[in-house]
Structure 1
Amino acid sequence: MKKDLLREFSLIFLIPKNIYLPLSVFGIIFLIFLILDFDQYLNYASSFIASFITVFIISESTFKEDYQNGYIEQRICEGRSLVSYLFAKYISNLSLVYLPMTAIAFLINGFSEGPALEFTFAYLVMLSTLYFFFNLGSAISLRRNNSLNALLIIPLLIPFIILVKEIFVDVLLEPNLNFLMAYFVFSATFVNYAILHILRIQSK
């Protein structure tokens, strides 16, 4: 696990675009919505749209390089755990990309219509859930090298999008935060379980 974490953090630090590119995309999209001067509630919606697009862009390359250079296949052949591999990728992205994105959203929106801690937590959960689902699309599209295949999982996110809208636009934390957590648990377990098997199939 420690080696996997060091590897993933090193990959992000050694390739700075892995940090500044998603944050730049997120910031630019967010800035566009601010220039359009929507009211505060729609600013929350704009932060979700910016997050949605940014996480989708990030997910395109989640497994691509490791698949092309044979790293995933090597891990499987050596009997090394893919669980720690996925976990390390998530922790590195959470620490270096999603936490800064949450900070940007918090600084711009302020979450003044509700408890800041709960909204910040919900925002991180939202980003993490998007990350897991779009990684599923990324794993599916590895062989065909077509990131548009990742769009196939968007129908699975329709209930999730409704939950996010009720939390950040309608400011209804309860019971929607509990449902959001349930969606996160589902994505962190079942979706990642599916990703593990898809990666093994794709690497054969």
Structure 2
Amino acid sequence: MTPSTADHAPQAQMSVEEFEQLARTSPETVTLELINGKLEVKPVPDGDHDEIIMWVAMQCMQQQPELRLYRERGLRIGGYRSGRARPDGTLARAGRFAGDGEWSSPDHILMTVAVTSHDHDTDTRDRTEKRDGYAAASIPVYLLIDRDHDSLVVYSEPEKGRYRHRTTYGYGDTVPLPGPVDITLESEELKNYSG
């Protein structure tokens, strides 16, 4: 079983309402998130980061044309503590977010995707806090593309705020994403964005 920080929630730095007001007025050069009651600042993605997200999007759409990988979609996540996250990618059926405001419920989301950034917070943010927030929101699959380790980590089967399964693959491996995603990623191209 994957360790979780869900049982050790820190004191909230601000209310959800205060966060949403701050996020609305923040400059376009940063992305703000409220994860486990803590204000997080995501750096602006680099070119390799963007190419990796497009690689995932293209493979998903080629295999399941009715699905879309939405970039930076605002989601309400978390267990007993409200949170707000903007995954690098959110996989859902086309039209899922029609009529939603800036922040959507996690209902009917099949997968979230994170591509690690080259900053000091990526370990806590992408590998722990977001993983636990997505599990608490019962998002079926979390795909972490870890550029520090040239790996893809597939988390699945959320239960009681944790993912029950974790499988790690290297760049170049065939990566089967479990249901309800049911897509197989051929990851050879990721070697072009390594290092």
Q: Name the TM-score class by shorter chain.
A: under 0.3
Q: Which has the higher helix share?
A: 1
Q: TM-score, normalised by structure 1?
A: 0.25
Higher relative contact order structure (alpha carbons within 8 Å, sequence separation ≥ 6):
1
- Which TM-score applies when normalising by structure 2? 0.26
